[in-house]
């Protein structure tokens, strides 16, 4: 099973600034990497798939990069609605699909 | 608008059973794979099970294999998860999610979840 590790666990950033979230896989997942956003009481939302492709309706301030074992989600010019928990997920070596433990992005 | 609405969660004793449902709207269910993912208190996401668009292929996490059964009724636009021999460790918020296919595909839409609590 591929283990996904996210860092940091909590990230404090001021509105309008940039946030950089990291995700590491225990072995290569090529580009089969997705990022999700989750707010309390809401359904998780797909932000990025294929490591760098924005999902439908996702603003351009969200971008993903990386391949193999190291991945990054960057959110530029943070808006109030961006403060949430973010999860990465690999779907390369699936069954099981595996997720990172999440990064909580909080207002500084 | 794509919508997924889970139901059927609740409080059940250890060893008991529950059947979760996920009603889909806003898209044609029968061309998409469907998945159940659960989230325990404290946040960790765990893939539970997936089913192909036709229902002919099913996949399970080792932690639920032999106890849970995923199925779908495309004519009713509904996905199911039959859960037997429930354990305290199965306590979680259960989400259904859709994907273009089972395998190398992310989950593009999720429901809001239904809470399962296993406790005496």
- Nearest-angstrom CA–CA distance, B57 and A95: 12
Enumerate the residues of chain B whose CB falls inside 8 A of the CB of residue A64.
Answer: none
Average pLDDT of span B4-28: 97
Residue of chain A whose Cα is closest to the Cα of B108: A46
Laid out side by side, the sheet with A62-67 consists of A4-7, A19-25, A70-75, A62-67
Mean confidence (pLDDT) of chain B = 96
Report pLDDT digits (tens) over A53-87. 999 999 999 999 999 999 999 999 999 999 999 99
- Search chain A and give the residue with CA nearest B96: A43
Of the candidates B45, B50, B113, which has its C-beta nearest A99's C-beta? Answer: B45
Strand partners, B12: B118
Local confidence band at A91 (pLDDT 50, 70, 90 cut-offs): very high
Amino acid B101: pLDDT: 86
Instruction: Determine whether the interchain pair B108/A46 forms a contact, defined as Cβ–Cβ distance below 8 Å.
Output: yes
CA-to-CA dists, residue A39 to A103, B43, B54, B102, angstroms = 12, 11, 32, 26
Nearest to B61 among A41, A45, A96 (CB): A96
Output the pLDDT for position A41.
87
CB A102, CB A84: distance < 8 Å: no
Structure confidence by residue, pLDDT tens digits, B54-109:
999 999 999 999 999 999 999 999 999 999 999 999 999 999 999 998 889 999 99
What is residue B100's three-state secondary structure?
A: coil
Q: What is the pLDDT of residue B8?
A: 98
Choose the mutation target among A4, A52, A96 for the interface with B, i.e. most B CBs under 10 Å.
A96
């Amino acid at each position: 099973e591929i283990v996904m590790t996210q860092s940091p666990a909590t990230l404090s950033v001021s509105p309008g600034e940039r946030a950089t979230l990291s995700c590491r896989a225990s072995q290569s997942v090529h580009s089969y990497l997705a990022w999700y956003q989750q707010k309390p009481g809401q359904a998780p939302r797909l932000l990025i798939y294929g490591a760098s492709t924005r999902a439908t309706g996702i603003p351009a301030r969200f971008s993903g990069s990386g391949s193999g074992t190291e991945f990054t989600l960057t959110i530029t010019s943070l808006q109030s609605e961006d403060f949430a928990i973010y999860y990465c997920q690999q779907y390369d070596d699936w069954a099981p699909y595996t997720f990172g433990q999440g990064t909580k992005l909080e207002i500084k | 608008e794509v919508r997924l609405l889970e139901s059927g969660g609740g409080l059940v004793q250890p060893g008991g059973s529950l059947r979760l449902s996920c009603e889909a709207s806003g898209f044609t269910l029968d061309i998409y794979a469907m998945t159940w993912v659960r989230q325990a208190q404290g946040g960790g996401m765990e893939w539970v099970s997936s089913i192909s668009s036709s229902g002919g292929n099913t996949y399970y996490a080792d932690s639920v294999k032999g106890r849970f059964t995923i199925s779908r009724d495309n004519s009713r636009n509904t996905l199911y998860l039959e859960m037997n021999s429930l354990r305290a460790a199965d306590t979680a918020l259960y989400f259904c999610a859709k994907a273009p296919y089972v395998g190398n595909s992310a989950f593009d839409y999720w429901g809001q979840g239904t809470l399962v609590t296993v406790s005496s």
